[in-house]
Structures are given as C-alpha cells and as structure tokens.
Chain A
Amino acid sequence: MNRINQKLKEDKKLLSIYFSAGYPTLNDTVSIIEDLEKNGVDMIEIGLPFSDPLADGPTIQASSTQALKNGMTTDTLFNQLKDIRKTVSIPLIIMGYFNPMLQYGVEAFCKKCQAIGIDGLIIPDLPVDVYNEQYKTIFEKYGLINVFLITPQTSVERINFIDSISNGFIYMVSSASVTGSSSGFGTEQTDYFKRIADMKLKNPQIVGFGISDNKTFTQATTYAKGAIIGSAFIKHLTKHGNTNIDNFTDSILK
C-alpha cells in the first residue's frame, strides 16, 4: 500500500509541511526532510522550484527563486533524494508546476519518483481533465498518487468528480488566495470546512493555504484529516536556516 494511504488510516490529525527544495542552501534538502520526520511531521511536500509559480505568494516564490539561484534543477533534486528511503519512512510528495515535469518527460519523471520512493505528486497547473485523459495511466503505472486541489468556489459537481478520480487525499485550499496570504480563519472558512466534511467524500481532506500556527492548525483540522504548512515554515528557514526545526514543529503541535 502507498505510504500516503497508510498514513491516512492513522487515527490522528496529520501535519504536512511544504518547503522549496534547495532552500535556504542547495544541499539542505535531505537534512530538512530528516529533521521534519524526527520532529513528528506526518508528511512532506518537497517543492520543485519553478521560475513562475502562479499559485504561490511572495514567500514561496522568493524561496523558489533563491533555490533556482542556488542551482536547483530536477536532476539535482532527484540526486539529492536518491537514498532518502534509507533514512525516512513518512510519505513524501513532490509539489511542482507542470512545465519542468513536461520538459523532463512525464513518464521519465514518474519513473524516477517511483525509483526514489516518492509517493505522490501535487501539480497545481495540471488540470483535472487533462490528467484524467492523458496522464492518469502513467501515474498509476508508477504507483504515484496525484493530489488535486479544491477551493471554496469549486462546485459540488466538480468536487464529486475530483473525488471520483482521486485515490489519496484532496487538497483543500482554505480560501480564495495564493499561498501565505491569509491571517487566521473566520466563520466563512470553518463553514466551508464543515460543508466539505459533510459531503462524506471517499478521499479525506487536508487543508492548505493560510495555516501558520497551532491555532490555525487546530481550526483547519477540526473537520479535516490534516493540514499543510508552507509559507510559515519557509519563513522559519529564512530566519534560522536548517536549524531549530524542532522549535517550529513544537509550536504547531504543542
């Protein structure tokens, strides 16, 4: 069974962390992943940097730009991760934009992910219908779970369609925003979390965007299975480098 599905079966709220590979310095990728696992993180999204990350706010874009300046490439990331399964056992997801994957070759990319032990992909600008028609069989051949996003504006009909072609979890974008731009959740968000929970989808939901501390983590996971933190962790890395990761995770999970 895929590590993501196994993890989703655990009777706990899941904390997933996103960071840009190659940030703050090129070779921090592996040590950050190892430290996150040691400190109780349940799942990691490894960001493959892109020059034009449309869905991301300034914090993640800046880290992505810096990672590219540091020399991060798709091949470099795969090299850094080649022995990752000797030390890390939690689910690992690569999150990136479609163009770098397209240039690598979608099948070659998926094959490499399987060889390394990557469990899933999140590709915000690969539309659901294009995936379904052109790439689903490739992803499945290499045992990769593709994770789709829904937002407060996504129609019920479309949520049901996304649920039907998903086989891991649904990435629930907390509000109409790019990453890193929200400060706290109001009733609008909690109503939306509840509305989705009440749909009793076959895939659990994990909330992302706007989660930065224990309070927002708790709010997000009241109805959802877990939550993803990105920008807030990048800010920690900007301030502390790859050190004191335990302080960050403790502040969320206290």
Chain B
Amino acid sequence: MSFNINDKGYYGDFGGAYIPEMLYPNVEELRQNYLKIMAEPSFKEEFDQLLKDYVGRPSPLYFAKRLSEKYNTKIYLKREDLNHTGAHKVNNTIGQILMAQRLGKTRIIAETGAGQHGVATATVCALMGMECIVYMGEIDIARQAPNVARMKMLGAEVRPALSGSRTLKDATNEAIRDWINNPVDTHYIIGSVVGPHPYPDMVARFQAVVSEEIKWQLKDKEGREKPDHVIACVGGGSNAAGAFYHYLDDTDVNLIAVEAAGKGIHSGESAATSVLGKEGIIHGSKTLLMQTHDGQITEPYSISAGLDYPGVGPMHAHLYKTGRAEFISITDDQAMTAGLELSQLEGIIPAIESSHAFAVFDHKKFNPDDVVVINLSGRGDKDLQNYIDYFKL
C-alpha cells in the first residue's frame, strides 16, 4: 500500500478536484505542469538556492537535552522556527512563487488565518516584485493586527473576508472567488496541503525538504536516517506533510499527528477533525471535515489560529483512515503548558501550533532508546500576546 498520492490525484479515498467549472482551466493548467516545472534543473537550482540563502536552510536538527532527560527518551527538534518569517510556511511560498513565474502569472492571491501564510506570501511577492492580495477573515484581521501590519509593510493588500463566519474558511472562499474572477493572470498560493488536486501534493512536495533534511541530519547524529517517531501538529497539515513525507512508506517510522482539541473534543469548541469530522468536500477536496448532519461546514475552534480549520488535508485523512499515522488531540490548556515548558527547558518559545505537538510527551510514553523527532514548525513571537493573556505574564 502506498501512502502517497496516486496518478488520479487521490490518497486512497481522499483528494480529487471538486471544483466549479470556472476554476477548471486554472487548476488543470497547474496539474498538467507542476511536476514538469518542479523537475526542471533551473527550477530546482533556484528553489534550493533561495531556501539556502534567503530562508536559511537547512534548519538545524537540535538534540533537546533537557527535554529528553525529563521524558527519558531522545528528542530532536526540527527547527523550522528559525526559518525566515518564523515558520515552515515560507518553504511552500518560495516554491509556489517560482511556479507562478514559470506559468507566466503576474498577480498573486492567498488566504490566511493567523497571518503566517499571508506574511510568507507577501514576503516572496516582495522578493519577486509581484502584486499580492491576501484574503483574511474580518475577525482574524482584528485578532492578528501585527501580522496585518507586516503584510502591508511588505507591500501586500489585505482584503477582509466579510462573508460567513469571517475567518480562515471564508478567507479561502474569497480567494477562490477571486481566482474565478481572474482566470488568466493570477496564481493562487494555497498555504496548506488542502484544496483541489494538485495543491495537496504540490505543497507537500515543497514542504518535503523538512524530512529530506531530517534524514541526513539524523544519519549524522544517530547513524540512521529513520527515527522511531515523527511528531507534528496538524491544522490543514502542511508542516506534518513535510515532516512525514519521506517516511510515508517506511512503516517502521511511527507518525504522530497532533490536532487541536480546543476546549475539549466534545466541548463544541474544538478543531479535532479526525475525531469530529466526517468524509465530505471542503475547498475542492474530498477529505475529513467538521460539518453538520446536513453537510454544512461548521466553524472550528482552537486557541491556535493556525490549527483552526474545519478540514484536514486529504493525505492526513488517508493516514488517519488507514491507521498509518496515530492521531492525538491536545487541548488549549495542555498546549499552553507544553509551550511554557519548552521555553523554560530549552530556551525556545514555540508557536502555539507547535506547542500542541510538544504536549504529546505528557500523553504518550516513549522508550529511553527511542529517537523522537518533533517538528517545531514555528516560533512564538506572533503568539506573545496570547501567552501573556493566558499566563498573566
């Protein structure tokens, strides 16, 4: 069994491109070209060079000594938090802006929830001198003022999504509508492994640099390419897709996906899609999503804006359904506590998204000899106000 995508754009039962005909030419153009373009030597060269000189890759694989002592296992942190713009998101936006250029596009649109993907998109648009429009829910604009300011400073236009619940899913709807209205000159940079095929696969391939590096870095440090466990948080699932990618078919590597349980899985305020979701269609992809009995998409909740999405990428839906990955749900409180602990044991303040992954150590016992790699997907600067409010700092 393969856990990667098949030639029809599906991971098992999940994926595909459930899009209105108005989007078909754009998505089809991308589908026909993305693998070809990614395989071009000039593309690879430019992508690798920018990841190295602009993003600062490879990101370190750091042995977390004090954390390892506390949990009596060997814990390595993949330091995506040290990337330019502060998270793994930029790996994907660098790849997609180069893709857009090669497709002859001159205008970039993106959606953003917390603003991390918006900032990463605005950054690469500034780098390449391209027009950039970022859709963001009106409510998120109010909640994430510093990132809105960053995007504006980088020259992007931030357009409020005023429809529906005025958060990430609505920002995504607005970006899709913009693409329908601008079918020729525009490329839509989706920020996660979601959306119609080929986006989940393309974004996973751009993020795959994370596990590609883990392999040789671990070989250097432990004498083997394969850890026993890889842990990553999952909202849409792009950092997890990157950390899992080169281990998908190595079934002796245990994959652990950490979702946001919000105020508790059954509290009515949660984003634990694997538990609460049912199969259906969201943003052009057949996957697991949170919805009413009647098929209306519901609004998720998490303290972490980056995990606050009612669906999950089709790769993760497949990993869940087949049991290839273990899914664990972590509440707001557990995540915040784990974030504080990492700060004080290792001197690293994580993004609240990543804090969810660290909370796993309180819920799951690892053997002393186990090598555990945890993807530290982003830094906590953007979340400082949340930490201040929560801990009354």
Contact = CB atoms under 8 A, between A and B. Distances in A.
A100 B181 CA distance: 25
Nearest to A176: B183
Interface of B: 16-22, 24-25, 162-164, 169-170, 173, 176-177, 180-184, 278-284, 291, 293-298
Contacts of B170: 52
Q: 10 closest pairs, A vs B, by CB? A: A103-B295, A100-B295, A149-B21, A124-B20, A51-B296, A55-B20, A153-B25, A99-B295, A99-B281, A176-B183
Interface stretch (A37-45, A57-65, A113-121, A231-239): A57-65
A148 B21 contact: yes
A68 interface: yes
Nearest to A149: B21
Contacts of A155: 25
A102 interface: yes
Contacts of A68: 296
Contacts of B19: 54, 125, 127
A99 B182 contact: no
B309 to A, nearest CB: 13
Nearest to A175: B181
B22 A181 contact: no
A242 B170 CA distance: 29
A61 B283 CA distance: 15
A65 B163 CA distance: 9
Interface in A168-212: 173, 176-178, 181
Contacts of A245: none
A39 B8 CA distance: 48
Contacts, number: 116
B380 to A, nearest CB: 31
Nearest to B29: A153
Contacts of B183: 151, 153, 176
A253 to B, nearest CB: 28
Given A58-B163, A103-B280, A173 B181 contact: no
B252 to A, nearest CB: 36
Contacts of B169: 52
6 contacts: A55-B180, A62-B163, A100-B295, A102-B279, A102-B295, A104-B295
Interface of A: 50-55, 57-58, 61-62, 65, 68, 73-75, 97-104, 124-128, 130, 148-151, 153-155, 158, 173, 176-178, 181
Given A75-B294, A181-B181, 15 more contacts: A50-B296, A53-B173, A58-B162, A68-B296, A99-B281, A101-B295, A125-B19, A148-B21, A151-B22, A151-B24, A151-B25, A151-B183, A153-B24, A178-B177, A178-B181
Given A52-B282, A54-B173, A151 B295 contact: no
B174 to A, nearest CB: 10
B227 to A, nearest CB: 37
A130 B183 CA distance: 23
Nearest to A56: B177
A61 B164 CA distance: 8
Contacts of A151: 21-22, 24-25, 183
Contacts of A55: 20, 22, 177, 180
B145 to A, nearest CB: 25
B295 A74 contact: yes
A173 to B, nearest CB: 6
Q: Which of B16, B18, B164, B284 has the most CB of A within 10 A?
A: B18
Given A130-B18, A151-B21, A154-B25, A99 B176 contact: no
B294 A100 contact: yes
Q: Which of A100, A128, A158 has the most CB of B within 10 A?
A: A100
Nearest to A58: B163
A125 B291 contact: no
Nearest to A100: B295
B186 to A, nearest CB: 11
Contacts of B180: 54-55, 176-178
A154 B318 CA distance: 32
A101 to B, nearest CB: 7
Nearest to A96: B295
B165 to A, nearest CB: 9
Given A124-B21, A149-B22, A177 B297 contact: no
A62 to B, nearest CB: 8
A170 to B, nearest CB: 10
A55 to B, nearest CB: 4
Contact of B294 (A61, A103, A130): A103
A57 B177 contact: yes
Contact of B296 (A54, A75, A100): A100
A151 B296 CA distance: 27
B292 to A, nearest CB: 8
Contact of B18 (A125, A150, A158): A125
